[in-house]
Structure 1
Amino acid sequence: MDLTWRPLTLDDVPALARLYAAAEEVDRTGDHFGEADLRDELVAPNVDLARATVGAWAGDELIGYGLVRRRDAADPVHMVRLQSVVHPRHRDDAVGAHLAGWFARTSREVHARAFPDAPLELHHGLHQNERWMAGILAGAGYEHRRTMVNMRVGLADLPPQPPLPDGVEAVPFDFKYDLAALDARNDTFADHWGSTVYEPDAWRHLVTGSKDFRPDMSFLVLDGDKVLAFVLSHFYASEAEATGIREHYATWVGTREALRGRGVASGLLGHTLLAAKAAGFDRSALNVDVDNAHRALGVYERCGYRVDDEWHVYALS
């Protein structure tokens, strides 16, 4: 079948939602995207809708999608983020080759506009079940570089939570600390693989200004106006609608170096989990690099989280 490839527009969001739903029936990644979620993704500050998205159309049906997302910094490498989804009925070598070639060309163009003097790497994250796309990327020279895990804990039978150390207080998130929280996030994740700084516009769009952000389920440790530790939470209504499960998501968990090793991270996360349980959430989830530089896996296990599934990062230099 002849396909038409063109950039997406916001009018294509309903078709994109149908495409993701069709793929999820086969791939079972656990992600369920509503139209509002996808619209938010396409209007993000670091997405160039006209020049860095592509859709493959079979008549009126969207059967494939690709996106290249620039990063806010290249320190020192510009690690562009790639996303894709292809309808299970159309997963063939021709579609895969077209997407791989488009990723290569478009990444170079995005990179040239943003950080032309920095090295470029292409990064694509895939759920462990997305084997077809993993094969396409491997055939195009990508290497598996990193494994991330989703961890979950049920809140109905939540185990006793580690307390905060004496003298350390959990303060509810307030938007007056928004940029201070961003500064703490950028500092805390500076040495994490694949991480780079967020600029304020992207931070507010993706995190604290997101429709899914739950400030009432987010907590800080402060020193004056400086954020020393944080747990920032989201609730994805589209997931709850699809699964019937109200899942609290601990999107960002971090502690500045001065407080590490004192139980602050586990105590603050435990405080958050108790708040989520009291608010009627069924379970909590988070995502972590298995080779996290700060041994975060153990922190989360102390709060009762257990590994549920894996995501793999494939990269091409």
Structure 2
Amino acid sequence: MSFLAPIAQRAAAPTDLPPVTAGGLGWRPAARADAAALLTLKNEIAAADDEPYRETIAEVEDLFTGAWRDVERDSLVGVDRAGSLRAWAFVDTAPGDVTTVRAFLNGGVHPTHRGMGVGRELFGWEVARGRQLLAASGKEIPGRIAVYAEDTDPPAKLRLYERYGFTARRFYSDLRRDLAGPVPDVALDGALRVVPWSEELDEATRLAHNDAFRDHWGSEPRDAQSWAHGRSEFAPHWSYLVVDDAPDVEALLADEHTDPHTAAALRAGGPLVVGYEMASRYDEDFGVRGYTFGYTELLGVRRAYRGRKVAVAALAAGMRAFAADGMQYAVLDVDTENPSGAHGLYASLGYEKVSGSRMYSIEL
């Protein structure tokens, strides 16, 4: 591994954040009382940029929760003379990062206030705050400042990211699968079986997720707090798990890739979730897309169980649940360079690309 300078040095964090003065707006931190106005602002921006989603009040309120967040310092809203929100920014981190410490930038400007320098100044503030958060983490590991963009976003926005030194590094495909077609029946071998998601199995599912995604670029372990956070649109009745009722405990304990938390659960005789399909329902998006759908938020399989049709079984169970509730399509998002070969799996099941997005980052 190449030598890394201290994170405080690499982050190059400014002592003071740059002022945001453009557009004749008043600037202050966001507050929970802003949730309804912020929802309106975010959805009007999404409509103007032809983005394939709209948010709910519950999703926006999630921004103001999470013990790791300091909304007073990590957010900014621009308010016009009439008291309407016209711009917003949130800078977020992820607790539990162990291989790359990350800062995520989020924000936008209402169409009425574009072309005034608001976006440029606001993004400069986000970048500076992101650098401060990385420096304050004290984690002597690689760092990343990241921002996501839809393929439909205005070219000016993407050029702004590039001017600040961001590079498009990852590309994602939004896929859909017509549920009018037959859903495959999958026979699992050994003691594997598909079960509905339940609270009792959620911790075992978190451990399965951390194992499944440890070889995925950009993924970091999820602690219990961040795993349970942001589930305002979670659809438990559309979510399914694959469990092994008779795991080879000795072999798993001997496997150098078995993480300590899973090993402890195995020794305690806890359940072993080996695959999962976690789904959400985004009713606000149905009108935007022009069809109803169930969304697979997360799909994963433990490394030791790949090649045993676990992912297909979990995904098929989710698709049947979507169809049973009258949904027209199954939808999910995938990294185009997914190391598990997921793209090929989805194509074989009839998923087709309908839109895309990308992640821009500065690597430190």
Whether TM exceeds 0.5 here: the answer is yes
- C-alpha deviations, 1:173-205, integer Å up to 9, x for none? 111111110011111111111111111111112
> Structure 1 residues 47, 203: CA separation in 2 closer, same or farther (over 3 Å shift)?
same
- Gapped regions of structure 2 (runs ≥ 5): 1-22, 246-270
3-state secondary structure, aligned to 2:181: coil
CA shift at 1:150, angstroms? 0.8
Residue 100, structure 1, aligned to residue 123, structure 2 = yes
Residue 31, structure 1, aligned to residue 53, structure 2 = yes
- Which residue of structure 2 lines up, in the alignment, with residue 174 of structure 1? 198
The CA distance in 2 between the partners of 1:186 and 1:204, in whole Å, is: 14
Of the candidates 65, 80, 85, which is equivalent to residue 43 of structure 1?
65
- Gapped regions of structure 1 (runs ≥ 5): none
Residue 123, structure 1, aligned to residue 146, structure 2 = yes
Residue 274, structure 1, aligned to residue 296, structure 2 = no
The CA distance in 2 between the partners of 1:44 and 1:81, in whole Å, is: 15
Q: Matched residue pairs, number?
A: 313
- Which residue of structure 1 lines up, in the alignment, with residue 352 of structure 2? 306
The CA distance in 1 between the partners of 2:61 and 2:286, in whole Å, is: 18
What letter is aligned with 1:153? R
- Which residue of structure 2 lines up, in the alignment, with residue 90 of structure 1? 113
When the two chains are superposed, the root-mean-square deviation of aligned CA atoms in Å is 1.9
* Structural mapping, 1:138-153, within 5 Å: 138-153=162-177
- Which residue of structure 2 lines up, in the alignment, with residue 265 of structure 1? 311
The CA distance in 2 between the partners of 1:145 and 1:244, in whole Å, is: 30
The CA distance in 2 between the partners of 1:94 and 1:130, in whole Å, is: 17
Residue 220, structure 1, aligned to residue 244, structure 2 = no
Contact persistence 2:99–2:220 (CA under 8 A):
no
3-state secondary structure, aligned to 1:66: strand
Of the candidates 178, 181, 199, which is equivalent to residue 158 of structure 1?
181
CA shift at 1:159, angstroms? 3.4
- Which residue of structure 1 lines up, in the alignment, with residue 13 of structure 2? none
Residue 57, structure 1, aligned to residue 103, structure 2 = no
Contact persistence 1:182–1:200 (CA under 8 A):
yes
3-state secondary structure, aligned to 1:147: strand
> Structure 1 residues 182, 115: CA separation in 2 closer, same or farther (over 3 Å shift)?
farther
Contact persistence 1:45–1:202 (CA under 8 A):
no
The farther-off stretch of 242-251 and 77-86 is 242-251
The farther-off stretch of 236-245 and 258-267 is 236-245
3-state secondary structure, aligned to 1:195: coil
The CA distance in 1 between the partners of 2:214 and 2:289, in whole Å, is: 35
- Which residue of structure 1 lines up, in the alignment, with residue 282 of structure 2? 236
- Which residue of structure 1 lines up, in the alignment, with residue 268 of structure 2? none
3-state secondary structure, aligned to 2:232: coil
Of the candidates 199, 204, 208, which is equivalent to residue 223 of structure 2?
199
Of the candidates 211, 216, 225, which is equivalent to residue 232 of structure 2?
211
What letter is aligned with 1:11? A
TM-score in terms of structure 1 length: 0.92
- Which residue of structure 1 lines up, in the alignment, with residue 37 of structure 2? 15
CA shift at 1:244, angstroms? 6.8
> Structure 1 residues 54, 279: CA separation in 2 closer, same or farther (over 3 Å shift)?
same
3-state secondary structure, aligned to 1:252: strand
- C-alpha deviations, 1:39-85, integer Å up to 9, x for none? 12332344321111111222212111111111123332212111112
What letter is aligned with 2:234? F
The farther-off stretch of 247-256 and 167-176 is 167-176
* Structural mapping, 1:278-297, within 5 Å: 278-297=324-343
- Which residue of structure 1 lines up, in the alignment, with residue 18 of structure 2? none
Contact persistence 2:177–2:331 (CA under 8 A):
yes
Residue 66, structure 1, aligned to residue 89, structure 2 = yes
The CA distance in 2 between the partners of 1:67 and 1:276, in whole Å, is: 33
What letter is aligned with 2:119? G
Contact persistence 1:219–1:230 (CA under 8 A):
yes
TM-score in terms of structure 2 length: 0.81
